[in-house]
Amino acid sequence: MFKGIIRSSWQELIIEQQEDSSIKINRINYELAVLQALRDGLRCKEIWVVGASRYRNPDQDLPTDFEENREVYYQALSQPTNIDKFITNLQEQMLEYLAKLDQRMPKNQEVQILQKSNGWIRLSPFEPSPEPINLDRLKTEIERCWSSTSLLDMLKETDLRVNFTQHFKSVATRESLDPKILQKRLLVCLYALGTNTGIRRLSAGELGENYSDLLYVRSRFIHQPQLRNAIAEVVNATFEIRQPHIWGEGTTTCASDSKKFGAWDQNLMTEWHIRYGGRGVMIYWHVEKNSACIYSQLKTCSSSEVAAMIEGVLRHCTEMKVEKNYVDSHGQSEVAFAFCHLLGFELMPRLKGIHRQKLYRPASGQPDAYPNLQPILTRPINWELIRQQYDQMIKYATALRLGTAETEAILKRFTRQNLTHPTYRALAELGKVIKTIFLCKYLNSESLRREINQALNVVENWNNANGFIFFGKGKEIATNRLEDQEIAVLSLHLLQSCLVYINTLMIQQVLSQPKWMELMQPEDLRALTPLIWGHVNPYGTFRLDLDERLPIELAA
């Protein structure tokens, strides 16, 4: 009656021993345990609901024509159809990187492998990088040229150059608004939503627009698909205007992380956050090295960061091709390593618990191999399990790529609550292979560790700028409607992307002067970021004149 339903930790609360040695069941606690088991079963899809979407039959998540188009799906993922070739390639990589790490360990001053606690990895802190001495001068010059620039004017200037408002079309069958009037009202609404000040407050200022007109534009024109298209337009324009001698060549890497925002609590999104405390929601950002955010997602506090990470890499609509994704400890797992490898990009985490990580052996029967790594080596990889489930793993990777089911719904099936699932066990085994290869690179290269740390610092800086822009209503998302929450987040994303776009132009305009470019040292260019706001004023009296332009080319 209890097997597979009641956890061992619950049995004391449910099974009560009587004085006459009989057993009594606490009915209330038993029902709670059953409901918890039902919830866990639904999450990993051991059971499903007929007619549901997220909790439907898991077989419906997979492509139905996989057998007929097997080669096509393998080619789309750039994976070999021959499992022997797939395994041989991984084995060769494991042998190569384990050997490199083992050979370098005696001379590796930054990494130590200790005998304590059954193997312990100790990493030395980084030596400080050279201080960028000229960045403060550059920021001072930007503040001198464009002092107290209105954030609303930055939004306007971006639209006048990029024309992202062209993507906001009415949901009605016809529209007779004058294009210039519509453009102004769209910009006012987007600013009100992106700063969280609200449409009513901006209608009471000197903008010359009344509340009912702005509310009409908000309800008819501003929706999630239009906002995502506008964001992609601005981000792609930012990529296009960058000068390589200042920002470097085009990048194929991005970092992702989440930030908690306060939110009203009478809705299905808001939850209490265990780590940060307080009620709210999470916004998950994907930001490349020069502070262009390619994707954002509204998530619950308990939702999987792994699912959000994969979703952002696969679903962003910009021109950027992501080949590496940097995350912190919460954005990685063994299953995540496996799926990222199958989907064709590298997962590069900064592991908080690096001391307890283990390296897996590529083959059995070689207990004395890699003598310098012995304390942190563990069992050999079960290649046979990967061989048996190769097709199933490709099916699930294809489902993620095509979006036939929600990423989180698929990944929830592969958790520790479903250890007996053969595909989960194979994905975990494949993840151990990829993670071992990554750890060998990570421990062997200080430059890689610095690269990951620098990328995550960029996304942390993006999170800091959120509070500067999203200042209204105590920085709390003040709505219980899911659609309005998503629009508020996407409006913030658009507004911050416009800030990065205009700052990129301003920095390039200053550095176009030879005397300024000659001042810039390699450490200055390394630390240069367009996400600065010392010269920006998001508050005060709001004015919007479409005929007035920012003197970017003339002020410097």
pLDDT in tens, 57-93: 777 778 888 888 889 999 999 999 999 999 999 999 9
- At residue 98, the pLDDT reads 94
User: What number is the average pLDDT over the span 261-275?
Assistant: 88
Q: Decide if 8 contacts 37 (C-beta within 8 A).
A: no
- Residue 355: closest CA among 42, 117, 83: 117
* Exposure class string for 239-260: b at 16+ Cβ within 10 A, else e: beebeeebbeeebebbbbbbbb
The two tokens of residue 241 are 């205007």
Q: For residue 57, how many other CB atoms are within 10 A of its CB?
A: 12
Beta bridge partners of residue 444, listed in sequence order: none
* Rounded alpha-carbon distances, angstroms, from residue 256 to 224, 283, 332, 468, 528: 21, 10, 11, 20, 19
DSSP, collapsed to helix, strand or coil, labels residue 513 as coil
Handedness of CA 263, 265, 270, 272 (dihedral sign): positive
- At residue 55, the pLDDT reads 76
Q: Within its chain, how far is the Cα of 179 from the centroid?
A: 36
Predicted confidence (pLDDT) per residue in 311-321, tens digit: 999 999 899 99
Q: Decide if 305 contacts 335 (C-beta within 8 A).
A: no
DSSP state of 243: -
User: Using H for helix, E for strand and C for coil, what is the string for 318-352?
Assistant: CCCCCCEEEECHHHCCHHHHHHHHHHCCEEEECCC
Residues 145, 143: Cα–Cα separation, whole Å: 6
Residues 13, 29: Cα–Cα separation, whole Å: 7
φ/ψ of 235, rounded to 5, equals -65, -45
The residues, ordered by sequence, that sit 6+ positions from 526 with a Cβ below 8 Å of its Cβ are 129, 132
Beta bridge partners of residue 17, listed in sequence order: 23
Helices (H), 150-267: 151-162, 179-195, 199-203, 211-221, 224-241, 244-247
Which residue matches tokens 């009037």?
A: 181
Is pLDDT at 304 greater than 90 in this prediction? no
| Mode of pairing for the β-strands spanning 15-17 and 23-25 | antiparallel
Is pLDDT at 156 greater than 60 in this prediction? yes
Predicted confidence (pLDDT) per residue in 9-67, tens digit: 777 777 777 777 777 777 888 888 888 888 777 776 778 788 877 777 777 778 888 88
Predicted confidence (pLDDT) per residue in 467-481, tens digit: 999 998 888 998 999
Is pLDDT at 555 greater than 70 in this prediction? no
Is pLDDT at 252 greater than 60 in this prediction? yes
Is pLDDT at 2 greater than 70 in this prediction? no
- Residue 137: closest CA among 552, 526, 537, 517: 517
Residues 355, 347: Cα–Cα separation, whole Å: 19
- At residue 452, the pLDDT reads 94
User: What number is the average pLDDT over the span 503-516?
Assistant: 94
Q: Decide if 357 contacts 82 (C-beta within 8 A).
A: no
Domain positions in the chain are: 85-101+109-122+254-454, 135-242+499-555
The two tokens of residue 500 are 């990065």
pLDDT band at 376 (very low <50, low <70, confident <90, very high): very high
Helices (H), 347-445: 383-388, 390-402, 407-411, 422-444
Which residue matches tokens 């030395």?
A: 124
Residues 456, 307: Cα–Cα separation, whole Å: 18
Which residue matches tokens 């449409």?
A: 199
Angle 65-70-73 from CA coordinates, rounded to 5°: 90
Which residue matches tokens 């059954």?
A: 118
- At residue 367, the pLDDT reads 81
DSSP state of 130: P
Predicted confidence (pLDDT) per residue in 386-404, tens digit: 999 999 999 999 999 988 8
